[in-house]
Amino acid sequence: MNDLTIIITLIAIGYIAGTWAEKRHYRSIEKREREFLDLPTVSIKNVNIDDAKVKKAEIVYGGAVISVDYFKRILAGLRNIFGGAVKSYESLIDRARREALLRMKAMAPDATMIINVRIETSTIGRKSHKKSVACLEAFAYGTAIYLEE
Amino acid sequence: MKYTARMPETNVNVTPTSPLREFFVLLSGVIAIIVGIYLLLGLALNIIVPRIPMTFERKMAGPFINSMASVDRSSEKAQTVQKLLDVIQGRYAKLPYTFTVYLQESPRVNAVALPGGNIVVFSGLLEKVESENELAFILAHEMGHYVNRDHLKGLGRVLVFIMISAVLLGPDSSVGNLLAQSLNITEMAFSRNQETLADEFALNALHSTYGHVGGSADFFIKLSKEVNAGLGGHYFSTHPENLKRIAHLKNYSRIHGFAEKLLRNIPAIINKKRPA
């Protein structure tokens, strides 16, 4: 009896806490994205600007680690049997990437623009034995450019 | 082109979906697959079991008997039950089995048919029986399971269950053990139809042995009173509800003209409790 109760409790906690945390995180992401709306962030390598005008150029980066909740993990496990889009992980990756970008921007709030932006993802905390919970890390980096006024 | 910064209107990277609905749809899919496998393997058992040779069944029986601690086949009590069984076997259509009776100290009011003609009788049952005819009926009922080799089918079903549970939940999962216990899987193994056929076999055997079928329903009458007393105890049991079963016994006897006459006393040793 104990095992089943524990599993059901974990799933319930995972669902309730996970949903609450996700909603809260999205609200925060959207709020900060609005604040940084005027900071252009692009993936192009070269911009057509006279070198003399560039006051400063520096690397900026931001990382975010988001963990799967238990409910999402079980849901993804069930999805693994039948195949198809693992919808329960989509929001996770989306949140991690956007959070990483936001933290990168937070490193250079006064920059004119950030160019050559790249995003990398990796899983951490995932061991060879299956029982450990996987976390997702998104890492964003780019070059912040400050122009002379 | 003038660049105007604005927030995206929709998030294309996250599918708007109800995760709870997805969860239950997928879960019921998995359960449906498991039930399907269980039923399919159950059907396969019905095909395989009649083809298992007797020599192989005898080999299968070894581990069962060895794993049962505190079984007793040499005491006077066990010998008395064995003798009764041999009489029934001798008087009625012989089965290709050498039946061996094992007694086990246990409060369970039951007897179990194991592979290779090994019948385990629990001491709780022996304390309850009141006549030789009653005990003979129970023994003949267990023998009846060997006619259709129900015991092998039941065993196969238990194996299938353990296999599925091990694959899905791991070899030593307490969820699996819990399921097995709550389903009382070993006792559930026989279907109602199998029980009814075994009952009919037992009636015929009783008639051949004693010339009448008195005492055949006694055990179930006793059991039905107890079931009413202890609620839920037999909830999972597939034994047809005892009242229906008694009715069927009476009906079958009437159709075949089996009479009920005086019962034989049970040998005193049978009811005796083992000194503590």
Mean pLDDT by 10 residues, chain B (276 residues): 78 86 88 83 82 81 70 79 84 78 80 81 82 86 85 78 73 61 54 82 84 80 60 44 79 83 74 61
Nearest CA distance, A15 vs chain B (angstrom): 9
Euclidean distance between CA atoms B60 and B24, whole angstroms: 41
| 3 state SS of A148 | coil
Most B-contacting residue of A78, A82, A101, A112 (CB-CB within 10 A), to test interface: A78
β-partners of residue A115 are A143
Higher pLDDT, A139 or B69: A139
**Residues A111-126 pLDDT 10s:** 999 999 999 998 887 6
Which of A23-27, A42-46, B37-41, B223-227 has the weakest average pLDDT? B223-227
Distances B151 to B93, B97, B245 between C-alpha atoms, Å: 19, 13, 20
- pLDDT value of residue A64: 95
Instruction: Give every CB contact of residue B275 below 8 A, 6+ residues apart in sequence.
Output: none
User: Which residues does B208 contact at the CB level (< 8 Å), separation at least 6?
Assistant: B91, B92
Tell me how many degrees the CA angle A7-A68-A75 measures, rounded to the nearest 5: 55
Cα(A124)–Cα(A135) distance, rounded to whole angstroms? 5
pLDDT at B232: 40
**What is the chain B residue with the closest CA to A80?**
B26
Please tell me the predicted confidence (pLDDT) of residue A65: 94
Question: Would an 8 Å CB–CB cutoff place A2 in contact with chain B?
Answer: yes
Q: Report which listed range, A60-64, A127-131, B180-184, is most confident.
A: A60-64
Which of B149, B198, B155 is closest to B64 using CA atoms? B155
What pLDDT is recorded for position B235? 39
Q: Is the ipTM of this complex over 0.85?
A: no
Sign of the CA dihedral running B87, B89, B91, B92: positive
Q: What is the pLDDT of residue B179?
A: 60
Q: Is B12 on the interface with A (CB under 8 A)?
A: no
Give the Cα-Cα-Cα angle A16, A19, A22 (nearest 5 degrees): 145
What would the DSSP string read from start to end of B100-169? EEEEE--S---EEEEGGGEEEEEHHHHHH--BHHHHHHHHHHHHHHHHTTHHHHHHHHHHHHHHHHHHHH
> What pLDDT score was predicted for residue A145?
94
CB atoms within 10 A of CB A134: 16
